[in-house]
Structure 1
Amino acid sequence: MKTIKFKTNILKYGLILSALVSASSCSVDESRNINDEYGQTPEQLLQDLSIVKGPLVNLMSNIVIVTPEWQYQLQQNLMGDVYSGYMTPPTPFAGDSNNTHYNLIDGWNQFPWTIAYQGVMANAWKVEGRATDLKLPQYVGLAKILKVAGMHRISDIYGPIIYTHLNENPGFDKFDSQKDAYYAFFADLDAGITTLKDAKAKGLKVDPSGDITSFGGDLDKWIKFANSLRLRLAIRISNIDPAKAKTEAEKAIADNGGLLSSNADDLMVLKPHPVGVIANSWGDTRMGASMESILNGYQDPRTGKYFQKSAINGNYAGIRQGIDIANNGGKDAYAKFSTLTTSITEKIQIMTSAEVQFLLAEASLKGWNTNGATAENAYNKGIQLSFQQYGLDATAYIANSTNLPTDYTDPNNAANNTAAVSKVNIAWNNGDTNAVKLEKIITQKWIAIFPDGQEAWSEFRRTGYPKLFPVKLNKSGGTISTDKFIKRINFPASEKAANSANVAAAVGLLGGPDNGGTNLWWDTNK
């Protein structure tokens, strides 16, 4: 039997361990590990490149985890999906005192971290190492880009993360500050784009069977995505590090590989979205009150593409975050509110061309070189692309200057009612202040990128837009401000137990206590 040897580390990550455990970095015989992992002989694994395509598929499946659905519920649905204003559970989890009430539960807070290192970093390491040894640079470049796509989300949950120091001292790896992590993301995007361009010039391809996304192995689209991701991250740091942000954004815009520019470019993982099971099989998530206020107020045609009408009032009805569910009719009452549609749950949205247009609109508003794109044109195009994504015509919507978000009314309990906090209309007006223009850009981006609650929550923290309803019952014990909203998730308890010295150093890098009230580096909204 042929032996396959790789000069790379073999990574493992358990639910309790704090860092990836590796074997020696010397020449390692991985044949048994690989055979156990895929159930094929080494000859078979080499013949169809399963040793590379297998972990690549796993990597794609964990940026937003595909299955099991309960892990997505803890990775994002009970965090970003709620804190973004998109969704609220009708279920009184943990005695109706949980993350949705700002009483952060350690057992929940572990999962984004564990999935990131077990599902994203470990698989990216495998793809990069194996593809390097097999001289398959197209897979190396793709892994670098996907690693950034996954890990920036984790940094945007916790702040400092283990990234550039990963596996230097297994079990006791040092953290990067969020600034250093972001700079490393930009460097990895540089390397990934350059590698893909070189591979393309040599006629190398990615086997579509190893790409479970809408790109189907198309290197041109992956380069566009990498540039678009660079633009997203540049905008993310623009309030705290404007010079670096401008440099990275203009690099992305000027790159000859281009940006995502049409709905044919939208990056989707072609697997059923786990939120569908959570919403429609388990009944554990429903439309959020802020979504109801904004979508109903705008009479937005996308509402019916996102949500089903409720059984409680025959209209689109959302639940306010942090209410007392148990004493207001319980799950049976609130499960009657609007659930999600199949058009949302049939695939997993990673990034769209509509989002890119809103990023360009903001870049133009900042006075950066956007290659001729104006804030107004990019804003309108972003709306058009979002509507086209669902087979809708945006003409009348874009021109609407009268509709405003509506007050919120809870049919079960008037004590949860609250006045609308978002006050901007839809139509672009060059006479508006830049603050109003930015609010319009972010509000429309927030609608367009649904259901990606993690990205929406990050943008809300960065900009304060769209204006959302505050949590009704704040059970944080004073660590999180109701008016300023939750800022982050505390470091996992398992990491504190196993890697305590480096977690303590990471708290120092964070610049505040390890709780949900401490701002991330790029969040300047104090």
Structure 2
Amino acid sequence: MKNIYRLGVLAATLGFLATSCTENFEELNKNPREITQEQLEGDFQHVGSKYKPVFESIYIFNPGWQYQLQQNLNADAYAGYLTPPNPFQNGSNNTTYNLVSGWNNTIWSVPYSNVMNNVKDIESLTQGEYPTLYAVSLILKVEAMHRVSDVFGPIVYTNFGDLDNAGVYDSQEEAYDAFFADLDTAVDNLMADIESPRFTAFDLAYGGDYSKWVRFANSLRLRLAIRISKVAPEKAKLQGEKALSHPLGVMAGNDDGFFVTSTNSHPLAQIDNSWGDTRMNASMESIMGGYNDPRINAYFSEVNPGDSETEPIVPGTLKGIRNGLPLLDGYADASAQKADYVRFGVINDDLTQYTVQLMTAAEVAFLKAEAALRGWTGAGDAQANYEMGIALSFEQRGVGSADDYIADNTSVPADYVDPVYPSNNINALTNATIAWDGADDNETKLEKIITQKWIAVFPDGQEAWSEFRRTGYPKIFPVVSNQSPGTIDTDIQIRRIPFVDSELSTNAEGVAGAVTKLGGPDNGGTRLWWDTGAPNF
């Protein structure tokens, strides 16, 4: 209401000026160096300038601390990828399931402020006149907001910007239906003018190539279809087969991957290499180390042991840290106190150079492998897709041929040995091997598919955490210290983030409605709509 009032005052003031000044007022007062609206519209800058914050907020690029709160101190840890070596908030925080509301506000606020607001502006400037520009904004919106829904469940999506219903949440099922509908509109718009170069100057991913945007949209549809395959199998099959049967298809090669280019380096470069606030998770050490996976050296490097004369406990071996550690001063890593003799894994510099990975051809191959297990038309052969996913990931990471790795039918995840506190030691939770065996049942095959997908999509912890919750794979070590108030089961692990304080204080009625659509209490132990807990097959 305050904004409407202010707009009314502004309109009245402008009207007064228009009737009080000379007819040549605009010409006399024009700044010759100022870019006019006409000039902006001539090269679409009035629209194009709004895309950059959208691209860079699917997860935030800069400042690094916002990414740290948006994803690193929740999904990256819950996925078994990374974990902090330092005891934030005296060791009682998100990673130990004492969920910090002030941290979690960022997960919600960044996509709404930087994505939804800008996409709404793009819609008002383009819809009906520049349908391809509108189409790209829809794809970006779905990419950003399905991640938000996969954290909280119900979200404000279809009602966003509606003055009468702005605070009304969609259930997660309603949100997913809207995602599919938006992808329909986007693909139809792009296919109608596929050769247009209009978006080239603003494209931080594909250089204005609308064919690649369509393949990304189809791949995103396939991801979302697989996500709901247990809870809504018929809808999932329909949407998945729509993606697979499209004339332009889904991502097939590494040049199809969705990588956002920026003038900022990956935020992990700051959080990890500058601040020392995150390190390799023990689950990464167990799985990739046990598999002798050469990609581990593309992902991580050793912490510089500094000037310590102490011999490394495990020479030349990258070490991970158990997730959910309580107060452990010894885990202030090599740049600080006691553990300067432990070579914990830090993010490899090559992984943080001015691009953010949000979807890869390898992931799509694994999606097709699962779709084949589920009998979806157009998915191809499950084994061929599985092996292609591994090969594409090896190619992407530049680690040589994947042939020997694909054929390995003996290596299994390794037991974890804590280099500082033996009480944190834990045996591997699975004996799954790498090589495909056609005689295996579908559950065993799925574990292999999801485990390899988990390795390939690193460092996108949000996608990895979602797939872990949906399938139970890979088998990630539980937290050492569960400090939830009895709401999160240590073995089942965390399922979602509760609705945030900023919404509770400004939209209490909307949140109350969202909780009724959640299907359980508003805490970290309640499963999302697609997280059924049922067997995968």
**TM-score normalised by L of structure 2:** 0.88
Alpha carbons 1:21, 1:167 under 8 Å: kept: no
Cα shift readout 1:73-99 (whole Å, capped 9, x = no counterpart): 011011110000000011211111000
Q: Which residue of 2 aligns with 1:389?
A: 396
Instruction: Name the SS for the 2:301 alignment partner.
Output: coil
Q: Which residue of 2 aligns with 1:142?
A: 136
Q: Which residue of 2 aligns with 1:34?
A: none
- Asked whether 1:85 is paired with 2:77, we answer no
Matched ranges for 1:271-286 at <5 A = 271=262, 272-286=265-279
Instruction: Name the SS for the 2:347 alignment partner.
Output: coil
CA distance in 1, matches of 2:5, 2:463: 30
Which one of 347, 351, 354 corresponds to residue 344 of structure 1? 351
Instruction: Name the SS for the 1:339 alignment partner.
Output: strand
Cα shift readout 1:100-142 (whole Å, capped 9, x = no counterpart): 0000000011001101101111111112221226x22111110
Which one of 419, 426, 444 corresponds to residue 434 of structure 2? 426
Q: Which residue of 1 aligns with 2:145?
A: 151
Q: 1:472 to 1:22 in 2, by over 3 A?
A: farther
Structure 1 unaligned spans of 5+: 1-11, 13-19, 30-38
- Asked whether 1:289 is paired with 2:305, we answer no
Matched ranges for 1:311-390 at <5 A = 311=305, 312=312, 313=314, 314-331=316-333, 332=336, 333=338, 336-346=343-353, 347-371=355-379, 373-390=380-397
Which one of 227, 232, 252 corresponds to residue 261 of structure 1? 252
Q: Which residue of 1 aligns with 2:416?
A: 408
CA distance in 1, matches of 2:78, 2:178: 27
- Asked whether 1:233 is paired with 2:224, we answer yes
- Asked whether 1:524 is paired with 2:515, we answer no
Q: Which amino acid aligns with 2:286?
A: S
Report how far residue 257 of structure 1 moved: 1.9
Q: 1:378 to 1:317 in 2, by over 3 A?
A: same
- Asked whether 1:56 is paired with 2:51, we answer yes
- Asked whether 1:308 is paired with 2:301, we answer yes
CA distance in 2, matches of 1:255, 1:474: 46
Instruction: Name the SS for the 1:268 alignment partner.
Output: strand
Alpha carbons 1:238, 1:245 under 8 Å: kept: yes
Q: Which residue of 2 aligns with 1:5?
A: none
CA distance in 2, matches of 1:485, 1:77: 17
Cα shift readout 1:149-178 (whole Å, capped 9, x = no counterpart): 000000000000000111223795200000
Q: Which amino acid aligns with 1:153?
A: R
CA distance in 1, matches of 2:301, 2:158: 44
Q: Which residue of 2 aligns with 1:185?
A: 179
Q: Percent identity?
A: 49
Q: Which residue of 1 aligns with 2:27?
A: none
CA distance in 2, matches of 1:330, 1:132: 52
Q: Which residue of 1 aligns with 2:505?
A: 497
Q: 1:287 to 1:329 in 2, by over 3 A?
A: closer
CA distance in 2, matches of 1:397, 1:356: 20
Which one of 193, 196, 206 corresponds to residue 198 of structure 2? 206
CA distance in 2, matches of 1:265, 1:89: 33
Q: Which amino acid aligns with 1:328?
A: G
Report how far residue 41 of structure 1 moved: 3.3
CA distance in 1, matches of 2:216, 2:438: 30
CA distance in 1, matches of 2:387, 2:507: 48
- Work out the number of aligned pairs and report it: 492
CA distance in 1, matches of 2:505, 2:62: 28
Report how far residue 342 of structure 1 moved: 1.7
Alpha carbons 2:271, 2:278 under 8 Å: kept: yes
Alpha carbons 1:90, 1:325 under 8 Å: kept: no
Report how far residue 518 of structure 1 moved: 0.3
CA distance in 1, matches of 2:319, 2:217: 37
Alpha carbons 1:90, 1:334 under 8 Å: kept: no
Instruction: Name the SS for the 1:367 alignment partner.
Output: coil
Q: Which amino acid aligns with 1:47?
A: G
Cα shift readout 1:35-66 (whole Å, capped 9, x = no counterpart): xxxx8432332233221111111111111211
Matched ranges for 1:466-481 at <5 A = 466-481=474-489
CA distance in 1, matches of 2:475, 2:48: 43
Q: 1:337 to 1:277 in 2, by over 3 A?
A: same
CA distance in 2, matches of 1:177, 1:286: 35
Q: 1:463 to 1:78 in 2, by over 3 A?
A: same
CA distance in 1, matches of 2:436, 2:382: 9
